[in-house]
Amino acid sequence: MKLSNRVLSSLLLISFIFLAATTEMGLADKICKTRSDRFSGVCFSDNICAIICGQFEKFESGHCEFDGALRRCLCTKAC
């Protein structure tokens, strides 16, 4: 019984170390936001914002978000 507890403890420790290492390697990237240069006016549609950011500004995606008092199109990508 002691051997199986040691094996289980070792596996848990190895799993924890692997999880910590993958997080440090960038699998949990931060998301950077930048106001769209090509979208003008108030942003009402996340889909349109994402299309403009992805196709015309070479970002990964985009969404509408309040920037001050108005909703603006913010383009997003992994930092």
Structural domains in the chain, CATH included, are 2-78 (3.30.30.10)
R_g (Cα) of the chain, nearest Å: 21
Beta bridge partners of 73: 64
Spatial CA neighbour of 38 closest among 76, 77, 74, 79: 74
pLDDT over 70 (residue 8): no
**pLDDT at residue 14, as a whole number:** 57
Distance CA 68, CA 52 (A): 21
The rounded Cα 19 to chain-centroid distance in angstroms is: 18
Rounded Cα–Cα distance for residues 68 and 35 (Å): 12
pLDDT in tens, 19-57: 555 555 555 579 999 999 999 999 999 999 999 999 999
**Whether the model pTM is above 0.75:** no
